[in-house]
Each structure stands twice: as C-alpha cells, then as structure tokens.
Amino acid sequence: MFQLTLARKKILWAYLFLAIPLIFFLYIRIYPTLFAFEMSLYDWNPLAEEQEYIGTENYERLATELNNPRSVTRAAFSNTIVYVVLGVPIQLSIALLVALMLNEIGRLTMLYRLLFFLPFVTSTISIAWVFRALYQPQFGFLNVLLTLFSLPQQPFLKSPTQALPSILAMIIWQGLGFAVIIFLAGVKQIPRDYYEAATVDGANRWQSFRRITLPLLNPSIVYLIVLQSISFLRTFAPVLAMTTQGDGGPLNSTTTVVLRIYREAFQRFDMGFAAAQTVFLFAIILVVTIVQMRLTTRATD
C-alpha cells in the first residue's frame, strides 16, 4: 500500500465534501434540464400509458401558433414582450431617479429606503390580491380617489386595454426597491471629486449626470436590465392572482408565457407542448444572458 500524501488526502476530502452537492446538481438540475428537452420531442401526457415520440412536432405547432395572430400562444408571447419592454425601462427609470434623490438628501435616508423596500420582501400573491381589491369599482381605493377628484371611474382589470398596464403597475411597484438598492450602491461608489471637478469646469447638473453618473453607473444598469428582463419574462403569479379564475383575461389580454406553460402542463396535461415552450423560454433567457456578458466585458475593457 502506498502512503497517502497530504495532497492526495486533500483531493479525497474535496471529493467527499462535494459528493452530496454534486449528486444534487446532477439529479435535481442537470438531469431535469435534459429531461425537459426530451419531453419536448414527445406527445407527453402523464395520464397516458406510453409516451409517443413525435420529433419536432411540438416546435412546429409552437411556430404555427406564434404565426397565428388569433392564437392564445401568440397572445401570451406578445403580452410577455410588452411586460418586458414597458416594465423594465419604466421601473429602472423610476428607481434611478429615487436612488439619485436618496443620495441627494441628508436625513431620513434609512426611513425612505425602508419604504421603498417593503413591497419587495412581501409575498407577491398577497400583494397581487391587495391590488386586485384596489382596482375594484366602487370601493377600490383607486376608483375612490378618482371619484374624489371628480374623475370618471375606470374598469382597470375588467378592461382588455387597461388590465395589462394595471397588472404591470403592481409588478413595477413591487420590484422597485430592489433596483433602488442596487442603484444606490452604485451611485455611492462614484467619487465626489468627479462632481466637484465638473462644477469647477462649469458643468451643470444635467451635464454631470450625462457625463459622470450615467457612464459610471453602466455596470449597475446593464446588470439590472438583464436581471429585471429575465424576471419580467417569467411573469406568472400576479397574472394568476389578478385575473378572473387566473385565466389571463379579459380576452387573453394579460396572459403570459409562463401562465400558458402552467395551464398546458398541469391543467391540460399536454406536457410535451409545454416543455417545448419552456425550451423556447430558456433560449430567450440564454440570449439575454449572453448579450449581458458581452456588454459587461466590453464595459470593463
């Protein structure tokens, strides 16, 4: 028998320590990922005896439905794009403004930070139901406010044109605090000297903001755009909670990709088609992540 050298012993210990996490990742993360790809090639129904291999039929069906302007799948994807394209810029603009103002004031910073942070840590489902109540006709606080100012009452969640913005407002509201904190951390890292030098050179606030704040905040901005885009792409719980029967209505005007996946997989048990949609969602998220990596490497170069 050879003697175990210290180096060999350490290697053995490293493997031993990593054994459970490694098995976990292989079985709970890697295997299901591959399994999802496999399922997407089947007409998979858990209630059936055997699963039928159908090749790329699920993907062809997805392409057909995406090309059909009247299909629910098309509505889900186009709504999701609207959630991302409207939600991310609005949320990040407000958050940046709030972070800059928080940086401006001297006192009460902790109190304000707490205020903006509260919605972020509370349960999305509970908050979504509170907003659903806020949007109600008659007693809903928002319509009470409108009446108070002699403005006409609005249908909000009951209108096909107002429902999506109403839900989006709640999502923006809830996630604002997270973006504020990331921006605030970024703003605090910018040396005060830069602004003082700029003032000496006769720059006004807007110029300082354009030439110093924005470029130096670039890493935080890119980071938040990617993180928030992914989180808006995955919108699910607020739509489930704020639409009648959680159906993404009225007239599919608020439904999202993940809500469709949930319904296809766990209510219609068409798991193969649902899996194909998750693969497509995964591809989109992957592209967003890769673009972020490119942008951040360029920014640090």
Residues 61-80 contacting another protein, CB under 8 A: none
Q: Does 229 bind another protein (CB under 8 A)?
A: no
Q: Which residues of 261-282 are buried (b: 16+ CB within 10 A; e: fewer)?
A: bebbbeeeebbbbbbbbbbbbe
Pick the binder of another protein from 3, 5, 245, 297 (CB under 8 A).
245
CB of 191 to another protein, least distance (A): 15
Pick the binder of another protein from 43, 74, 119, 247 (CB under 8 A).
119
What is the number of H-type helices and E-type strands within the chain? 15, 2
From 77-85, 114-122, 158-166, 210-218, give the range in contact with another protein by CB under 8 A: 114-122
CB of 72 to another protein, least distance (A): 17
Q: Which residues pair with 52 in a beta bridge?
A: 43
| CA-CA-CA-CA torsion sign (214, 216, 222, 227) | negative
From 60-68, 76-84, 210-218, 280-288, give the range in contact with another protein by CB under 8 A: 280-288
CB of 190 to another protein, least distance (A): 14
Within 10 angstroms of residue 44's Cβ, the number of other Cβ atoms is: 23
From 63-71, 76-84, 154-162, 268-276, give the range in contact with another protein by CB under 8 A: 268-276
Residues sharing a CB contact under 8 Å with residue 199, sequence separation 6 or more, in sequence order = 208
Q: At what angle do helices 163-188 and 109-121 cross, to 10 degrees?
A: 140
Kindly identify the residues of this chain, within the stretch 158-187, that bind another protein according to CB under 8 A: 173, 176-178, 181-182, 184-185
**Nearest residue (CB) to another protein, 1 versus 28:** 28
Q: Does 246 bind another protein (CB under 8 A)?
A: yes
Contact 44, 272 (CB under 8 A): yes
> What is the widest separation between alpha-carbon atoms in the chain?
91
Kindly identify the residues of this chain, within the stretch 10-49, that bind another protein according to CB under 8 A: 10-11, 13-15, 17-18, 20-22, 24-26, 28-33, 35-36, 39, 46
Which ranges in 189-242 belong to alpha helices (H)? 192-200, 205-208, 214-216, 218-233, 237-242
From 59-67, 74-82, 85-93, 126-134, give the range in contact with another protein by CB under 8 A: 126-134
